[in-house]
Structure 1
Amino acid sequence: MDPFDRLHPGVQYHLANTLRWSGLRPTQAAAVEPVLAGSDVLVLAPTAGGKTEAAMFPLLSRMATEDWQGVSVLYVCPLRALLNNLQPRIDGYCRWLGRTAAVWHGDVTQGQRKKILAERPDVLLTTPESLESMLVSTKVDPRVLFSGLRAVVVDEIHAFAGDDRGWHLLAVLERLARITEHPLQRIGLSATVGNPAELLEWLQGSFRGRAASVVDPAVEPSSAPDITVDYVASLTNAAKVIAALHAGEKRLVFVDSRRQAEELAASLRELDIETYVSHSSLSAAERRRSEAAFAEARDTVIVATSTLELGIDVGDLDRVIQIGSTRTVASFLQRLGRTGRRPGTTRNCLFLCLDDEGLLLATGMLQRWAGGWVEPVTAPPHPRHIAAQQLLALCLQQHRVGTTEWTSWWGDLAVFDSSAPQIVEFLISEGYFETDGPFLHIGPEAERRFGRRYFSDLTAVFTAPPEFIVLAGRQEIGTIGTEVLTEKVDGPRLLLLGGRSWKVTHVDWDRRRCFVEPTDDGGKAKWSGLPGGLSYEVARGMREVLLGATPAGVTFTSRASTMLNELRAGFADTVAADGTIVYLPGGSAGRWWTWAGTAANRTLQASLPDVVDPRQRIDEKSIRLLPGVTAAEFSQALSGVQWRAPDVDANALRGLKFSAALPPELAEHTLAARLGDIPHARDVVAEKRSIVRSGG
C-alpha cells in the first residue's frame, strides 16, 4: 500500500487540500510504516528535509485511529527558540483532527501553564530541563499530566547526544516510562550522522531490543553545492567582501564568537549594509526581534554564532558565509543546509578565512566532507555527575526514595554504572540525603547548594563544553573552552589567545571568568580560540591537504590558493604520507608531529611522561618533547607505553556541573576520561616514525 494511503483520512485530506501536496517526500514516506507500527525510529534528513512532518503525520494518524487522549506526544527540542518556531506549525497540523499543541519552557507564564494543566494539549513541545521541572514541581502531578503519554519525538537529536544534555534527557525519559508504566515510542530527528544505528540504540535507553528502524532513504542527488574558499586576512576585509558580493540577497554569516559577531556587524553597518545580530549573550527578545526582521527583509545580512545553526526559520536564505571554518563536518552540513531550499536555487557556502590556521582547518575539514565522511555522534563517557543529579531529582519527584528502590527507575541506562552505590553513600555522608529507616529524603546540603527557587539550579540548562570569558582588567579578550583550564600544568598557566600570550591570574569557576595579564612567555604557537580542540579525522584531513590533496567539489580563490601553497611549503617538513615525523635536535626540545587531534595528543602527553614535556599547550598537530631526548629513549618509551587519561586540575572539577555531589576521585576520573582519546593515540604509536636529528 502507498504510504500516503496508510495515513488517517483527515491527514490525507489536509495534505492534498490545505498544503496542496501531491504526495509525501521520500523521507516522510519511508517513516510512515515504522512510526505507525510503534517502532522506535531515527529519521535522517538535511535541514528543511521534512523531518518534523515525517514524525507528526503518522503520529497524528495513530492518535486519531487509536483514540489517544490528553498529552499523548512529547516533542523535545534543544532550544526554546526552535520550540517557539515549531509550535504554530505543529498546532496547525493537530487542528486538522481537532487536536492541539502547546509549548512549555522557561519563558511560558504561570497562567499559560495553568491552562495547559487544565486543558491538556495532545502534543506538548518542551525542553529536557522543563520536562525535569514538571516532574519535580509541586504544582504539577506528572502521573496525571502524562497519563496518556504514548510517544516522544526528540528533534535535533545529534545536538543532544554529543553532550550531557543527552544523558539527562534519557534519564528523564526513563523516569517518565516508569510513571506511565509502559515503554514510550521514541522517535529521533537528526541531520546526517556517521553512526545512525548506534545513535538509535542510544536513544532507546534501557529499552534496547524494542523494534527499531533507521529512516534514511536514498534521495536523488540535487545539483552539487557551490563551495568556495577565500582568504581575506582580517575581519575588516571580510566585511568588505560580504558588502561587495551578492547585493540584493539575504545572507547568513556564521562566526565563532559573540565578540566577532558584534565586530563584524559593526563593520558591515559602517559599509551601509542592513545588518542584524544573533548570539547567546543577547536577550531572547532581542534575538527574536533580529530574526523576525531578518526573515522579512531581502537585501540584508544576519551575523550569528551557532545559535542559528539548528532549524530555526529565518525565511528563505540566498547565501551562507562562514568566517573561518567549522570544526566539524556535521556543523558544516547543518549550515550548508540552510540554503538551496527554494526551487531553482543551489546549496552554497563561502568560507572567508582570516588567517592561515583557519584556511588549513577549512581545507582539512572539507577534505573529509568531500570523502563522504561525517562525525559519529558519541555520548560523553562516565556521566556520573548526571547520576548524582538524577538521584536528587528523583527524591524531589517522589518526596522520598527507598534506599534500594531507586535502582528500578533507570533500568540498565548507562548513566548509572558500578559506581552508583558509591555515589549514593557519598550523597548520604555529605548531607545531600538524609536517611529515615529504609528511605532517603532531601538533606540540608542539597537545600544549601541547589535549593534556590525550588531547586531550579538542579534542573537548570546543561551546556556543551562551557566557555570562559577571558578578561585582562575590564577588557574582554575572547573566550576559551574549559579544557584550556583543566589540563594539569607545572608553574603558571599560560594562554595563547588573540595572537598574544597571557598568564592566568585567577579563575572564577562559578561565573566562568578567567582573569589574565600579558606575558612574554609562551612561545610562537598560535591558539585558535576554538573550544574542544579538533578531532583525529579532521587533523588527518589537514595533513592530507598539506601533502597535496585538494577537496573535490571546492573552488579556491587565487588568494586562498596562494596561501595554501605557502602553508604546504611551510609545513612540508612536518608531514609524511606513511607515518609521523619526529624532530630530535640534540640538546634542545624536540617535537613529534603526530597530526592526531587534540584529545589524542593530550593522551600521548599524559602517557609518555619520560619523553613529552608536561608544560605545553596541546594542539592537534604536534607535541613538544623534553630537551635532550634521544631516538633510543623515545622508541623505548613508546614500546612500553602505559595508557592513562590526561591529568586535570583539581579546581577544574568545579566547572563540571553537579561534580560537588560526587566523590572527588569519581569527579576527577569523569573529567579526565573526557579530555583524552586512547584509541587514536594507540594508532599514532603504531605508525611508522621518521626520526630527524636536527631542525624542527
Structure 2
Amino acid sequence: MTTRPDAIDRLSPAVRYQIANGLGWSGLRPVQALSTEAVLDGANCVVLAPTAGGKTEAAFLPLLSKMDVEDWRNVSVLYVAPIRALLNNQEARLTKLTGLIGRRAGKWHGDVKEPARKRLIDDPPDVLAITPESLEAMLLSTRTPARRFLAHVRAVVIDEVHAFAGDDRGAHLVSLLERIARIAETDIQRIGLSATVGDPDVIVEWLSGSSMRPQRVVDPGSARKSPELHLDFVGTLDNAALLIDRLYPGTRRLVFVDSRRRVEELGHRLSQRGVDVYLSHSSLALSERTAAEKAFEEGTNCVIVATSALELGIDVGDLDHVIQIDAPSSVSSFLQRMGRTGRRAGSTANCTFLATDGDSLLRAAAIIDLFRNGYVEPAAPSTWTPHVLAHQAIALSMQEQGSASHGWWSWLEGCAAYRDVSAEERESIVRHMVDNDILVDADARLALGARGERLYGARNFLELYAVFSTPRVLRVMHGQSEVGVVDASFLQDKEHKVPNFVLAGRPWRIVGVDWKGGTCSVEPAEAGSYPRWFGLPVSLERSLCQAMRRVLTSEETDLSWSKRAITALEAQRESHAFLDDGPLPLEEDPDGRCRWWTFGGGAGNRVLAGLLELELGERVSPGNTFITFSNGAAESAVGIRRAIDLLAARALTWDGAARLVDSNQRSRVSKFQPCLPPEIEYGLIARETMNVDDANATLAEWKGSTQQETKA
C-alpha cells in the first residue's frame, strides 16, 4: 500500500520552490494543507479560517499549481469579492502570488477606467478580481468580448462568501457562475472563503449548483486563544466619545457603528476632542475613504470610525483594539469585526462594547452569550428567488441579443437559487413579463420590450447590473473634490430645513443644489446637523432574541461585564421579573396595551402579529422581542390567549403568510417586482419580510407551556 504524499509535495515544483524562497515559508499552515488536498482533488469547497489566517493563499497556491501544471492561459481564475474596496485591498497580494510563477492578476470594477479595461482585454491576465455587478455588466456589454474573455475560466474563488449567501446578491452570483460555466464549456471549480459561517455544508452545496464535482468543507478547527471581551454601559454617544478618547492611548483603534449618521456624529465629536480620527462609510467619496484608511494604516495613536464595510477583510494594518458602539445584529458580524485584531504574534483578539442605551446593552450581552456557546448564525441561502430569476431572464435576453424562449432556462438549470421555483412558476413569470411588455416573444426569441426598456434598458441600463436599487442621492462637492453623497430626501425635508450638515466628520454650508445634475455644492462651516440616510429597521434573528431572554432570566454575570453594565442589566432583570411567570407571558401596561413576550425575532413576530390582527380585528404590532396589542385587541387577555391557541392548533405555511400582504400597500423588496405575477410577488414579499419557521417555533413553545400549565 502506497502512502499519500504530504499536501505540499502535491504542489508543482515551481510553486513549492516559491513557497520556500518567494514567500520564505517553512511549510503550509493547517488550513492551507487541507485546502491544497481539496482543490487538487478537484472539489468545490468552502474554506474556513479566521481573518488573516491565510485563506487567500489556501485557495490560490493549489490553483496556481494547477495553472502551472495544466498550462492554463488567459483569464482562468476569477476572484470575486462583495465590495470594490476588498478588491483594491487584495490587488497587491494577488499580484505577488501570481507573480511567483510568472503569471499576472488584473482588477475590474466600476472605478477601473476604460483604458485599463481595454489593456486587460487586449492582454488578458491569468487571475481577474471582479465584483458580481461588474461581471454582469461585462456579459451584457456590446463593447466587451465577454465570450472570448471568459472562455478559459476554470475556477472561481469567492471571498467573504457568507456576505453573499444570505441575500439577493448571492442568488445573482450563483446564477452568474452557471452562465460563465456555459460560456467556458467546463465544470468550473468553485471555492468559497469565510471566517464565519454557521452552515458550511449548505453553502458549498449552494455554490456547487449544477457542478458535478465532489464537495468538501475545509475546516482546520484549530483552537484559538480566548479573546478579551469587555461590555460597558456608557448611556450616551458623548460618553462613548469621552471613553474612546481615554481608552487605550497610544494605540490604533477601530470603532464600529451601525449607521452612517452615527459614524458622522461620533467622528465629529471625537475630532472636537482633538482625537486623530478618520471615517469610513459607503456614502463617503472613494478618495475620502482611501485617504482615511491609508492615514489610519500609517498612524500609531489614532481612531477610525466605520460602518460594517470595514468588517469584510479589508486590511488597515495591525489593529490594537476593536470597539463596538452598541451591538451588531448577529454573532457572525461580531466575529468578523473582532477578527480585525489579534493578528500579530503574541497579541489577542479583543472587542469592547460601549452601549449607549438599555436595548443595545442587552443585545450585546446576548451576542456574548451566543459566542460563549459556540453559536454562529447559518447563512441559509434561499432556494426560491423568483425575482432574481426574472432578472436573469431579462439579462439573458440582452446578453444573447434575443434568447431562445424555450432555451433560456438551460443557462440556469441546476442553479441552487431556483431549486424551489417550480416549472409552472417559471413559465408564469415569463408569461407575465411578455403580457406586460417587459419582454417580447418574437420568432421564439425573448427580447426586451418597451416597458422593459423604460424600467431596465437604455438610460436605465445600469439598473440591470445589480439585483438591488439604492435611493436617489446627491453628490456633495467642495470645489472640484467630491466629499461623499447624501440622500436627496434629507435635503428636501421641508420640516427641518438643512442649511449646514456634517459629512466626512467635517461641517459644511450648502452653497447651492443642482437637482437636475444631482450635486450639492458646499463650503466649510463652523457647525452642522448630522445627515440622514435611507435605511430599514433592524429585524433581529430569533436566536439572538432567545439569548436576550436568557440574559434577562438568568442570575449569572459574564466576566466581560463592567460594574456599570452589571448595574444596568440587573435593573433590566428587575423590570422584566414577570418573565419568571412563564416562558411566553402576556403583560398588561398602564396605557391599556398588552404585550406578548415571544422573544421570537422580528420576522417570525410579523407573521404572528398579522394573523392575530385578522383574528382579533384590531391593531396588533410586531417587534423583535414582543407583540403589542392595542385598542380593542387589548381588551381581553383571555381573548388574546384564545386567538393564540387557535393559531397554535395548526402549522402555519408560506401561503398563509402571503395572504397577509396588503395588495394596496405592497412593500418594495425588489426592483424586479413588476416582473412577477401578483401571487408570486406576494409570496416574495412574505419571504423577504416574514419567517414562518420562526412563527411556528414560537407557537410550539406556547403550546408546550400551556400544556404544562394544564398538567400543573
In the other structure, the counterpart of 2:81 is 77
Q: Secondary structure at 1:556's aligned position in 2?
A: coil
Q: Does 1:214 align with 2:214?
A: no
Q: Secondary structure at 2:613's aligned position in 1?
A: coil
Q: Secondary structure at 1:282's aligned position in 2?
A: coil
Q: 1:149 aligns with which of 145, 149, 153?
A: 153
Q: 1:452 aligns with which of 448, 451, 458?
A: 458
Change (3 A) 1:44 1:443: same
Change (3 A) 1:342 1:245: same
Aligned length: 637
**Contact 1:366/1:551 (<8 A) preserved:** no
Q: Does 1:345 align with 2:350?
A: no
Shift of 1:415: 3.8
Shift of 1:632: 6.0
**Contact 1:584/1:629 (<8 A) preserved:** no
C-alpha distance in structure 1 between counterparts of 2:621 and 2:304, whole Å: 34
- One-letter amino acid matched to 1:63: M
**Contact 2:609/2:621 (<8 A) preserved:** no
**Contact 1:543/1:575 (<8 A) preserved:** no
Q: Secondary structure at 2:47's aligned position in 1?
A: strand
Q: Secondary structure at 2:198's aligned position in 1?
A: coil
C-alpha distance in structure 2 between counterparts of 1:463 and 1:379, whole Å: 20
In the other structure, the counterpart of 2:320 is 318
Report 1:373-452 matches (<5 A).
373-380=375-382, 382-416=384-418, 417-418=421-422, 419-452=425-458
Shift of 1:381: 5.8
In the other structure, the counterpart of 2:563 is 558
Shift of 1:129: 0.6
Greater Cα shift, 316-325 or 267-276: 267-276
- One-letter amino acid matched to 1:154: I
Shift of 1:192: 2.3
Q: Does 1:622 align with 2:629?
A: no
C-alpha distance in structure 2 between counterparts of 1:407 and 1:306, whole Å: 36
**Contact 1:78/1:127 (<8 A) preserved:** yes
C-alpha distance in structure 1 between counterparts of 2:13 and 2:315, whole Å: 29
In the other structure, the counterpart of 1:645 is 657
Change (3 A) 1:381 1:566: farther
Report 1:95-494 matches (<5 A).
95-207=99-211, 209-219=212-222, 221-380=223-382, 382-416=384-418, 417-418=421-422, 419-453=425-459, 455-460=461-466, 462=468, 473=494, 475=496
**Contact 2:586/2:637 (<8 A) preserved:** no
Q: Secondary structure at 1:233's aligned position in 2?
A: coil
Change (3 A) 1:414 1:615: farther
C-alpha distance in structure 1 between counterparts of 2:472 and 2:699, whole Å: 31
C-alpha distance in structure 2 between counterparts of 1:245 and 1:49, whole Å: 28
- One-letter amino acid matched to 2:49: A
**Contact 1:87/1:103 (<8 A) preserved:** yes
Greater Cα shift, 433-442 or 602-611: 602-611
C-alpha distance in structure 1 between counterparts of 2:330 and 2:7, whole Å: 35
Shift of 1:128: 0.5
Unmatched segments (≥5 aa) in structure 2: 474-486, 499-517, 519-534, 708-712
Greater Cα shift, 42-51 or 644-653: 644-653
C-alpha distance in structure 2 between counterparts of 1:558 and 1:91, whole Å: 50
C-alpha distance in structure 2 between counterparts of 1:25 and 1:212, whole Å: 21
Q: Secondary structure at 1:160's aligned position in 2?
A: helix
**Contact 1:367/1:550 (<8 A) preserved:** no
- One-letter amino acid matched to 1:606: G
Change (3 A) 1:685 1:557: same
Q: Deviations over 1:81-139 (max 9, x none)?
A: 10011111111111111110000011111111111111010000000011011111101
C-alpha distance in structure 2 between counterparts of 1:296 and 1:21, whole Å: 26
In the other structure, the counterpart of 1:498 is none
Q: Secondary structure at 2:610's aligned position in 1?
A: helix
Shift of 1:238: 0.4
Q: Does 1:594 align with 2:598?
A: yes
Shift of 1:255: 0.3
C-alpha distance in structure 2 between counterparts of 1:613 and 1:193, whole Å: 42
C-alpha distance in structure 1 between counterparts of 2:378 and 2:577, whole Å: 30
C-alpha distance in structure 1 between counterparts of 2:536 and 2:680, whole Å: 28
Q: 2:94 aligns with which of 86, 90, 93?
A: 90
Change (3 A) 1:543 1:470: farther
CA RMSD of aligned residues (A): 2.5
Shift of 1:218: 2.2
Shift of 1:453: 4.6
**Contact 1:581/1:690 (<8 A) preserved:** no
- One-letter amino acid matched to 1:350: T
In the other structure, the counterpart of 2:613 is 609
In the other structure, the counterpart of 1:631 is 638
Change (3 A) 1:163 1:351: same
Q: TM-score by structure 2 length?
A: 0.85
Shift of 1:454: 7.3
In the other structure, the counterpart of 2:691 is 677
In the other structure, the counterpart of 2:539 is 533
**Contact 2:610/2:620 (<8 A) preserved:** no
Q: Secondary structure at 1:344's aligned position in 2?
A: coil
In the other structure, the counterpart of 2:528 is none
Shift of 1:427: 1.2
Q: Secondary structure at 1:213's aligned position in 2?
A: strand
Change (3 A) 1:682 1:571: same
C-alpha distance in structure 2 between counterparts of 1:163 and 1:189, whole Å: 17
Q: Deviations over 1:417-440 (max 9, x none)?
A: 121101111111111222222222
Q: Deviations over 1:345-383 (max 9, x none)?
A: 111000000001110110112111111111000124632
Q: Secondary structure at 2:95's aligned position in 1?
A: helix
Greater Cα shift, 441-450 or 304-313: 441-450
Q: Secondary structure at 2:627's aligned position in 1?
A: strand
- One-letter amino acid matched to 2:32: Q
- One-letter amino acid matched to 1:534: L
% identical equivalent positions: 43
In the other structure, the counterpart of 2:573 is 568
Q: Secondary structure at 1:206's aligned position in 2?
A: coil
C-alpha distance in structure 2 between counterparts of 1:618 and 1:74, whole Å: 43
C-alpha distance in structure 2 between counterparts of 1:633 and 1:590, whole Å: 9
Change (3 A) 1:537 1:448: same
Q: Deviations over 1:382-432 (max 9, x none)?
A: 321111110010011111111111121111324441211011111111112
**Contact 1:611/1:629 (<8 A) preserved:** no
Q: Secondary structure at 1:531's aligned position in 2?
A: coil
Q: Secondary structure at 2:545's aligned position in 1?
A: helix
Shift of 1:640: 4.7
Change (3 A) 1:454 1:355: closer
In the other structure, the counterpart of 1:500 is none
Q: Does 1:547 align with 2:553?
A: yes
C-alpha distance in structure 1 between counterparts of 2:497 and 2:312, whole Å: 27
C-alpha distance in structure 2 between counterparts of 1:180 and 1:226, whole Å: 48
In the other structure, the counterpart of 2:523 is none
Shift of 1:689: 4.2
Q: 2:678 aligns with which of 657, 664, 689?
A: 664
C-alpha distance in structure 2 between counterparts of 1:178 and 1:366, whole Å: 45
Change (3 A) 1:587 1:637: farther
Change (3 A) 1:88 1:581: same
**Contact 1:103/1:125 (<8 A) preserved:** yes
**Contact 1:465/1:532 (<8 A) preserved:** no
